[in-house]
């Protein structure tokens, strides 16, 4: 961002920051079940056949030994899972758990009716209206941590919100974990780039929370991607073993584009995803029974003309609902969805596609929503303006999730009687009692007349969001961190950076 | 639009026009019921109390006489409905019916599991990227009829897609009805601006379909707005009587902004809306038992800071689901939702808000979706680009509505087995069999890489849609219309224009 602050935006931003609420979503609305019981059963059985007959490759010797020791059949790299064994180990995973946060008010229930939003994860680029598209730096990473911290609708600080490409590959995981801890007091995600980096993450969490607390409840949740089709690579398995042994939470997510890594049909794609997720979940429970895991889904289709991924497609919506329903069937927390788009900027396409995923995400009662704000360009870029625009929709979904209250007060029959035919409710007692809290208000959406909007410069949502980002960053004030812990974390990070730099780049 | 055609766009447009399909939506997916049985019952009972104790004003002497003759209690302008009487007359309305179209392939089932999309209705302005915002003319009206005709995802030609402000107020209803008939072969809506204009509409439909056919099935469907709170005006009642006596279909729609025309709470707003809709529906059945009617809802909330309407709000979503559920409870076809926005241009706000309404619209299984494309600026403007962008989402919803097929072919287990871990499905037999029809493809959404997109001019969705509108209009070819009928219609229109012009402007 070119200009972060001025006096006016600083004040406005500070006012926004004071609105920070500890807003939890407990989804007590009906969940949308797309599939009939019979259809669900057929998907489940297809997955069991994939697991027992076709197998899943585990590219790690120790992992295969563990699997074999727990009853799996191993042939070369490929592991075959008997249905009874799948059932046995998957059932050891807890149906819900709590992720610790350094601010206990931000401790996060994961599972059941809890719905949690986390920022975009993974992009090497950032986009903002002032500078356009450029490689992400650590400064951008910190900015996004701040934006997530400042949003009352974001429950989690996330993980690799952007890749800090100006930091060395071998050590940037330390900068990322430290920045989450330093600039936010919301829960965060750990590094999965190697077993060593996972161990560094656990060590930093131990410094912050103490080793004992960490074994009671996870303080780190990490994203384990399956390299679909049917393949766990050595880096992910290395990280999995470290996190499971430390009883830290993992989101086991097959990353699947139907038509490329899975069949050109959603049913087959979901069956394959389900087999892959169950294999990872069972493995985690073999390493450490009771390890908190989330059933993950990252599922959409490719554009069959170009091979590019497509987001917000009707097919991806069906995949999302079916996946969530399977996770519920196994009694596991579910991760899926997000504000996805293929668009390069936060234009109409970006918004159409994002909501086309996000509403199914909430109505499937997704427990952990990664990429809930900021995603652009197939996940290659984090957008500053997209982030704050997406947060408006997250705010609306908070209100949506509260459901429709039917009570004497909300039915307001006295008020309806009091207003004559053709009258209005603007000044009724009922309106005066309720108007402050009645309706969600999106700060970034323009409700003015065309004339007022034109006089104000005909700014579109992108331009308005650009101003908002600057206000927010100017208003940011860090949550206090115990200086002794900060020093210990910094010392650890410096020591590890020295060690890793001496080892040289891998 | 400044330039409608060139050779290249004409060819491209023609190719698109040949894709015109008779695509019907039969929504066989689970419908989302937001309310418990108990909550639904409470809303129903609150409405009965409004009807029996608070009453509804009918500003038409003959209407009140009819209501009184059928057992209603009348006091001044206000009519009180006994619950048993409401039940009796509402139950006379058919649960579904078919609207005739001059192309019988476009005859439209309305009710049950049928979902139909119709264009935006009512705006006095148009917006396009070339000319900006300006008063709508008859030329614009005709252009939108053509765009609706060319979209395979639009089931209906609509009504007042824009107000042709360059035509005299007294006669423009004739131009609108004639343009729908002339430039499209999809079903259309009638004039409701007065009893006389409704009679003109019926007469034109009789010319086109014959009087006998018209009494068997409606050929006109018209939008009867309730002037909420609790008020039917003389113009609407005049049109209602004409259409009911001709057995033409009506959508009885309370137009309600919660916080202004109804309480500052969604429950009370829905209860009031329900009372108003039932009053109109019962009245129509008193005039002519069996008249096809649709239970209509146009319900959102105001921004309580400015008084402006807000679209896509979580509160409006709840209102939509609750309204649809009530219509199902009474066994009536339902109208609601649309691609609403407060935004002045098709930017991110417009798209966010539009989908925030449209997904609930489809998941509530709305039978008639007015404003399914083109709406901008609180309905004050029809957007050319917004129209074609919205149609992309309508296309996706067609695919969505087909549901998730679970079959041996779609599970594709042989194909999953055949592709080794880490392999791909791009060339499998299953993919080759399915790739042509597997996934919906949005023509206006960009799936290219950032580099390709930038080289092509960094066009956002608005700019791409602008090109598309020009291609479509350049490609338009009118559906053939029997010259004898065309002449009869034109003669009628000319005669009526002369009569109405001699009467002078009212």
Q: Would you say A333 and A373 are in contact if contact means Cβ atoms under 8 Å apart?
A: no
Contacts of A441 in chain B (CB under 8 A): 303-305, 310
Beta-carbon separation of A350 and B348 below 8 A: yes
Distances (CA, A) of B377 to A171, B119, B340, B384: 50, 15, 8, 13
Residue B50: both structure tokens together:
């409004």
At residue B17, does pLDDT exceed 60?
A: no
At residue B22, does pLDDT exceed 70?
A: no
- What pLDDT does A22 receive? 54
| Rounded distance between C-alpha atoms, residue B171 and residue A103, angstroms | 68
Q: A195: alpha, beta or left, given left = phi > 0 and alpha = psi -120 to 50?
A: alpha
Of B196, B199, B144, the closest CA to residue B169 belongs to B196
Beta-carbon separation of B404 and A266 below 8 A: yes
Beta-carbon separation of A32 and B363 below 8 A: yes
Chosen from B406, B414, B462 to mutate, greatest number of chain A CBs within 10 A: B406
Which residue in the set B34, B421, B446 is minimally distant from A404, CB to CB? B34
Q: Would you say A129 and A385 are in contact if contact means Cβ atoms under 8 Å apart?
A: yes
Q: Note the residue count of chain B.
A: 506
CA-nearest residue to A271 within chain B is: B411
Strand, coil or helix: what is A89?
helix
Tell me what ipTM this predicted complex has.
0.95
- What pLDDT does A119 receive? 98
Which residue in the set A46, A314, A461 is minimally distant from B348, CB to CB? A461
Contacts of B435 in chain A (CB under 8 A): 259, 264, 304
Which residue in the set A30, A54, A348 is minimally distant from B347, CB to CB? A348
Q: Would you say B352 and B317 are in contact if contact means Cβ atoms under 8 Å apart?
A: no
The pLDDT tens digits along chain A (506 residues) read: 333 334 444 444 444 443 444 589 999 899 999 999 999 999 999 999 999 999 999 999 999 999 999 999 999 999 999 999 999 999 999 999 999 999 999 999 999 999 999 999 999 999 999 999 999 999 999 999 999 999 999 999 999 999 999 999 999 999 999 999 999 999 999 999 999 999 999 999 999 999 999 999 999 999 999 999 999 999 999 999 999 999 999 999 999 999 999 999 999 999 999 999 999 999 999 999 999 999 999 999 999 888 999 999 999 999 999 999 999 999 999 999 999 999 999 999 999 999 999 999 999 999 999 999 999 999 999 999 999 999 999 999 999 999 999 999 999 999 999 999 999 999 999 999 998 888 999 999 999 999 999 999 999 999 999 999 999 999 999 999 999 999 999 999 999 999 999 876 44
Contacts of A417 in chain B (CB under 8 A): 50, 53-54
Strand partners, A125: A135, A381
Strand, coil or helix: what is B116?
strand
Total-model pTM: 0.95
Chosen from A421, A442, A459 to mutate, greatest number of chain B CBs within 10 A: A421
Write out the DSSP string of B285-354.
Answer: HHHSTT--EEEE-EEEEE-TTT--EE-S-HHHHHHHHHHHHHHHHHT--EE---S----SSSSHHHHHHH
- Inter-axis angle of helices B234-245 and B195-209, to 10 degrees? 30
Of B379, B293, B361, the closest CA to residue B323 belongs to B361
What is the tens place of the pLDDT at every residue in B423-465? 999 999 999 999 888 899 999 999 999 999 999 999 999 999 9
Q: How far apart are the first and last CA of chain A?
A: 33
Which are the contacts of B196, defined by CB distance < 8 A and separation ≥ 6? none
- Sign of dihedral through CA atoms B344, B350, B353, B355? positive
Contacts of B43 in chain A (CB under 8 A): 406, 411
Which residue in the set B389, B438, B454 is minimally distant from A264, CB to CB? B438
The pair phi, psi for residue A122, each rounded to 5°, is 110, -20
CA-nearest residue to A452 within chain B is: B344
Q: Would you say B356 and B388 are in contact if contact means Cβ atoms under 8 Å apart?
A: no
Instruction: Report the helix count and the strand count for chain A, using DSSP H and E.
Output: 19, 20
Contacts of A302 in chain B (CB under 8 A): 439
Which residue in the set B33, B393, B431 is minimally distant from A264, CB to CB? B431
Beta-carbon separation of A344 and B446 below 8 A: yes
């Amino acid at each position: 961002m070119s200009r972060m602050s001025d006096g006016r935006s600083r004040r406005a931003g500070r006012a926004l920051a004071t609105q920070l609420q500890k807003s939890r979503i407990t989804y007590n609305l009906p969940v949308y079940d797309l599939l009939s019981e019979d259809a669900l059963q057929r998907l489940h059985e297809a997955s069991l056949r994939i697991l027992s007959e076709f197998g899943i490759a585990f590219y790690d010797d120790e992992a295969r030994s563990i699997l074999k020791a727990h009853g799996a059949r191993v042939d070369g790299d490929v592991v075959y899972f008997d249905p009874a064994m799948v059932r046995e180990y998957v059932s050891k995973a807890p149906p819900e758990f709590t992720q610790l946060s350094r601010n206990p008010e931000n401790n996060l229930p994961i599972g059941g009716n809890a719905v949690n939003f986390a920022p975009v994860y993974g992009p090497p680029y950032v986009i903002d209206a002032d500078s356009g598209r450029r490689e992400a730096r650590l400064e951008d990473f910190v900015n996004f941590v701040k934006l997530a911290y400042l949003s009352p609708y974001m429950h989690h600080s996330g993980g690799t919100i952007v890749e800090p490409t100006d930091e060395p590959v071998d050590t940037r995981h330390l900068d990322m974990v430290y920045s989450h801890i330093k600039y936010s007091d919301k829960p965060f995600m750990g590094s999965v780039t190697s077993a060593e980096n996972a161990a560094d993450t656990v060590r930093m969490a131990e410094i912050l929370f103490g080793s004992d607390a960490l074994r009671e409840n996870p303080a780190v949740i990490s994203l384990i991607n399956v390299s679909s089709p049917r393949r766990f690579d050595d880096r992910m398995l290395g990280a999995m073993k470290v996190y499971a042994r430390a009883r830290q939470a993992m989101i086991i997510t097959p990353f699947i584009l139907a038509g490329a890594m899975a069949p050109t049909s959603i049913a087959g794609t979901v069956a394959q995803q389900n087999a892959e997720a169950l294999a990872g979940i069972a493995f985690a429970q073999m390493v450490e029974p009771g390890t908190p895991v989330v059933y993950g889904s990252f599922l959409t289709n490719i554009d069959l003309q170009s091979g590019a991924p497509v987001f917000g497609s009707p097919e991806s919506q069906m995949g999302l609902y079916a996946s969530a329903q399977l996770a519920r069937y196994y009694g596991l927390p579910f991760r899926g969805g997000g504000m996805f788009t293929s668009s390069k900027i936060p234009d109409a396409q970006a918004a159409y596609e994002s909501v086309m995923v996000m509403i199914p995400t909430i109505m499937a009662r997704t427990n952990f929503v990664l990429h809930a704000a900021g995603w652009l360009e197939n996940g290659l870029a984090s957008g500053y303006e997209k982030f704050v625009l997406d947060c408006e929709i997250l705010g609306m979904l908070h209100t949506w999730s509260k459901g429709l209250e039917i009570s004497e007060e909300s039915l307001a029959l006295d008020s309806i009687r009091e207003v004559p035919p053709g009258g209005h409710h603007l000044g009724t007692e009922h309106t005066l009692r309720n108007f402050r809290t009645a309706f969600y208000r999106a700060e970034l959406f323009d409700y003015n007349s065309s004339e007022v909007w034109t006089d104000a410069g005909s700014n579109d949502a992108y331009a308005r969001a650009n101003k908002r980002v600057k206000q927010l960053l100017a208003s940011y004030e860090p949550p206090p961190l115990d200086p002794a812990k900060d020093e210990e974390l910094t010392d650890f990070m410096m020591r590890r950076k020295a060690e890793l730099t001496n080892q040289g780049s891998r």
